[in-house]
Amino acid sequence: MKPLSSFRAIPFALALVALVACKPATEQHGDHAAPTAAAPALIPAPATLQTSDGQFVVDAGTRLHAQGEAAQRVARLFNGFLAKEKRPEIPLADAGAGGIRFEIAAGASPSSEGYVLDVKPDGIVVRAADERGLFYGAATLLQLLTPANGDKVAVRALHIEDAPRFGWRGAMLDSARHFQSVDEIKRLLDAMALLKLNVFHWHLTDDQGWRIEIPKYPKLTEIGACRIPAGDAGIDPATGKPAPYCGFYTQAQVRDVVAYAAARHIEVMPEFDVPGHAVAAIAAYPQLGVTGKSLPVSNEWGVNSNLFNTEEETYRFFEDVLGEMVKLFPGRYVHIGGDEAVKDQWIASQRIQQQMKEQGAKDEMAMQGLMVARLEKFLAAHGKRLIGWDEILEGKLPESATVMSWRGTEGGLEAAKQGHDVVMSPSSDLYFDYLQTRSANEPPGRPSIIEMKQVYAFEPVPAELPADKQQHILGLQANMWTEHSRTFARVQHNLFPRLAAVAETGWTPKDRKDYASFLARLPAQLPRWRAQDVEYARTPFEVELQAEAGGSATAKVSLSNPLGYPDIRYTTDGSAPTATSTAYAKPFDVVVPTQLRAAVFVDGQALADANTFDIDAASLLSRGNNALASCGKGLGLRLEDDGPFKGERGIYNVDIFNPCWQWKQADLSAIGAIEVHAARLPYNFQLAHDETSRKFQPARTAHGELVLRAGCEGAELARVPMPAQPDADGFVTLKAAIQTQPKPTDLCVYFTGDTRPTMWVVDRIALQPN
C-alpha cells in the first residue's frame, strides 16, 4: 500500500496539457453560437488517431445510413444507447449524401473486431469488416457524441484506425454469494460493451448459493438457492423467524441475458465450480458430498472443506448440469472452477482412497486432474473448451484446457510455457472486491487497496515468457466477488472506474498506454456513466482530509485526492467550494471548530460532490474504525454489521486472524481515560487450513476483556471486563482510566477470549483529557 504522497509523482504536466486540449469552446455563426469540436477523450484509447482541421456538427437534421442487416442492427443499438442517455436518436434513412454512415466492407480492417472511423466536414463514416468491429466503431462514435449540452454536437475532424490488443477482455460477476436481477446484469453488460469488453464470466454456483435452474434437479433451486444469513440479518424482527436470502435464474432468464449480451458482442461464460465450493449443491442433494450428511447452504465466507465425491452418480450429475449449460450458453468456453478444493475429506474417505488406487491417481490433486480430464472430454464432445482456475495445473491437464491465473501470474506463466491458453486475472491486481481508496465512504470488501494506478499498470504478458509462447496469453479479466457486496450499487462502485483501466489494457496497444493521459481522459467519462445510470465510485474523485491538533484551539489540515488530481478547492465558511475557491497548496492551520468543505476540480468542473469535514476538539481526540491501523498482517476484511435487518449498517475494518487496532502515535500526555465504542459482529468464516492462524488472546474473566496497551507488545495501560451481550443497539461503550504517557505512543486495542460465533470490533476510540 502506497502513501498518498506517492501520487505526487504522477506527471501532471502532461495530464493538464491533455485536459486543456479537451476543453470545449464556441464559434459564432451569425446570431447563433455553435459548439467547436474538442479533441476526443476516448476510453479505451484507440490504436491510432489523427485529428485535422474542420468539424462535423450533428444536429436534428443529421441522418444515419446503414446498408445491410448487420449494419442496421448496429445502428439500432447505437440509437438505443443514445435513448438510454436521454439523447435524441438519429433517424435511420436510405442511402444518401452526408450524415453518418455505418458500413461493413471486406478488407476494412484485418481484425474482426477492428474498425475505421472518419470524421470530415461533410459527414462521419464508420467502416469495419465484421459486425463486431462496426459495433466497436459505433461505441467510439457514441463517446464522440456524448455527453453533450444542447441539440448540437460538433465532432472534430479525425481519422481512427483501431483494433484490440487482446481477444479476451473480460469481467467476472459473482452472482452466487449475492444475487443480482436480470435488469441489473443487463446494465452491467451495457457498460461493458461501451468499454469494448467482450467476455462476461458468470459465477453461478458456490457454497452460499446455486443460481441456475436445472430442471432434472429441482432441489438445486428449491433448497440450494436459499441461505439463512448469519446473525440478525437472518432473523425477521417482525416475526422472530428465519429470513432466507434467495434467488436464482430461470432458464428463460439465462437465455434472455445470453441473447442480450450477444447483441452487444459479449460472450457469456458460465462457471460450475467443482470439486470445491459445492455446499449449496450438497445441501440440495447430500449424496453428492463425501460424507453423505445433510448440510445447510452455507452462510459463512471463505474456504469450505466440503467437496463433491467421485462416484459415478456424481459424475452423471456433473454431466447433466454441464449438458444444460452447453445448451444455454452458446459461447466457446465453460468454466469448471477447480479452485480452493481442500482435500481433507478425500484424504479421510476410504472409498475415495480406494478409487484413487483403482484409477491410478498418486495423490488427491491427481484425482482432481482425472476429474478435470473427464469433464474436458465431455465438454469437447459438445463443442466446448474447458477453462479453470490455475489450481487445475496441479493435476495432469488436458492439452486443450485453458487456465485462468488468479494466484498471481505464475500459474499463467507456467501454463503458457506448457502450451495452454491463459487468461490473466491475478488477485493482486484485478480482484475488485479489494478497496480502491482509504476513504471511510468505501463499502465492505477487502481493505487491502488495489488503486487505479496499479490496475492500469498491470501487464498481462510476463516479460519472462518466451516470445514463441506469448500468443497463449488470450487477455485479461477483472473479477468481482460479492461476499461483501449485497447490493448492485456496491458492485458498480467496486467495478467502476477501475474497469475502464482494464478495458484500456485489453484494447489499447501497449506502447500507446499512458497513465497520465488516462487520468486526463477519465473526467470526460464520468458524465457518460451518469447518463448511462452507472453508479461508479465517487471516492477516487473526492477529497481526503487528515487533521492533527496544532497549537491552542487550532488544527493542522492536509488535503489529498486518491488519484492525485491536483486542483483541490476548499472553503471554511460553510459554502460549497467552486473553481474559484481557495486552492489547496500545502498543509495549513484552521481555528477549531471549523467546518471545511472541499472538492477536486478539472477544467473548472467538480469531479464529485464536495466533502464536508467538521473539525472540532472532540474530533481531534477521537478516531473512527476507518482511521485506525491494524496491528499485523493477517487476513484483513472490511465487514458490514449484521443489523439492522433493513437500512444502513455499520462497516468495520478488522483483521480476523488478529483482531487488534492501533492509533498510531497517540498523544496521551494529557489523557486520563480512554473510551472505546465497540460493535459485535458474526464470526462467519470457514478458513480450512488457515483456521489455526486465528489468534485468541487468553481471557481472565468469563466473557473476555478489552485491553489497552502502549504498543502491541508494550506495557498494558488498562483492562476492562466485557459484558455477556451488547446493548440493545448492538454496541457497548467501555471506559478505562489510564496513566498519562510522557511521549506519543501507538495505542493498541484488542479483545481477549474466543467469542465465536461472534466477535467484537472497535467502532471508535475517544481520548478523554484529565
648-704 residue pLDDT tens: 999 999 999 999 999 999 999 999 999 999 999 999 999 999 988 888 899 999 999
* Statement: residue 243 has pLDDT above 50: yes
CA separation for the pair 508, 162 (Å, rounded): 9
Confidence category of residue 435, pLDDT binned at 50, 70, 90 = very high
Name the CATH code of domain 626-769 (choices 2.60.120.260, 3.40.50.1820, 2.60.420.10, 3.30.70.1400): 2.60.120.260
Calculate what percentage of the chain has a pLDDT beyond 70: 95
* Statement: residue 19 has pLDDT above 70: no
How does pLDDT run across 131-177, given as a tens digit for each residue? Answer: 999 999 999 999 999 877 678 999 999 999 999 999 999 999 999 99
User: Three-state SS for 308?
Assistant: strand
Calculate what percentage of the chain has a pLDDT beyond 90: 89
Number of neighbouring beta carbons within 10 Å of residue 580: 9
Domain 168-530 listed as CATH 3.40.50.300: no
Residue 695 pLDDT: 86
In 607-730, where do the E strands start and end?
611-615, 622-624, 629-630, 636-640, 651-655, 660-666, 671-682, 685-687, 705-710, 716-721
* Interval 53-74 mean pLDDT: 95
* Statement: residue 71 has pLDDT above 70: yes
* Statement: residue 519 has pLDDT above 90: yes
Strands 385-389 and 402-405 come out as: parallel
* CA 767 from centre of chain: 36
Helices then strands, counting H and E runs in the chain, come out as 18, 44
Confidence category of residue 448, pLDDT binned at 50, 70, 90 = confident
Confidence category of residue 630, pLDDT binned at 50, 70, 90 = very high
- With the CA atoms of 63, 64, 65 and 70 taken in that order, what torsion angle do they form, in degrees rounded to the nearest 10? -160
CA separation for the pair 630, 654 (Å, rounded): 7
* Interval 694-719 mean pLDDT: 95
Residue that is written with C-alpha cell 478488522 in the block = 654
Which helix (H) or strand (E) segment holds residue 516: the answer is: helix 515-531
The set of catalytic residues is 340
Residue 15 pLDDT: 32
Residue 37 pLDDT: 63
The structural domains of the chain, with segments of one domain joined by +, span: 1-24+542-620, 37-162, 168-530, 626-769
CB proximity list for 680: less than 8 A, separation 6 or greater: 726, 730, 731, 732, 758, 759, 760, 761
* Statement: residue 399 has pLDDT above 70: yes
**622: β partners:** 766
* Statement: residue 32 has pLDDT above 80: no
Picking from 539, 443, 446, the residue whose alpha carbon sits closest to that of residue 488 is 443
Please report the DSSP string for 309-359 in residue order: ---HHHHHHHHHHHHHHHHH--SSEEEEE--S---HHHHH-HHHHHHHHHH
* Statement: residue 632 has pLDDT above 70: yes
Least confident of 15-24, 341-350, 402-411: 15-24
Better pLDDT: 729 or 536: 536
* Interval 493-510 mean pLDDT: 98
CA separation for the pair 385, 394 (Å, rounded): 19
Cell of 464: 519472462
Which helix (H) or strand (E) segment holds residue 494: the answer is: helix 488-495
User: Three-state SS for 61?
Assistant: coil
User: Three-state SS for 605?
Assistant: strand
CA separation for the pair 717, 748 (Å, rounded): 9
* Interval 748-758 mean pLDDT: 95
CA separation for the pair 24, 36 (Å, rounded): 6
Peptide bond into 275 cis (omega under 30): yes
Cell of 527: 458524465
Picking from 726, 722, 727, the residue whose alpha carbon sits closest to that of residue 753 is 722
Name the CATH code of domain 1-24+542-620 (choices 3.30.2310, 2.30.110, 2.60.40, 1.20.58): 2.60.40
Q: Please, are residues 137 and 115 in contact by the beta-carbon 8 Å criterion?
A: yes
- With the CA atoms of 691, 696, 701 and 705 taken in that order, what torsion angle do they form, in degrees rounded to the nearest 10? -120
CA separation for the pair 298, 291 (Å, rounded): 16
Domain 37-162 listed as CATH 3.30.379.10: yes
Picking from 581, 585, 565, the residue whose alpha carbon sits closest to that of residue 573 is 581
CA separation for the pair 685, 698 (Å, rounded): 21
Residue 431 pLDDT: 98
Please state the three-class secondary structure of 235-256 as a single string: ECCCCCCECCEECCECHHHHHH
Residue that is written with C-alpha cell 496499479 in the block = 454
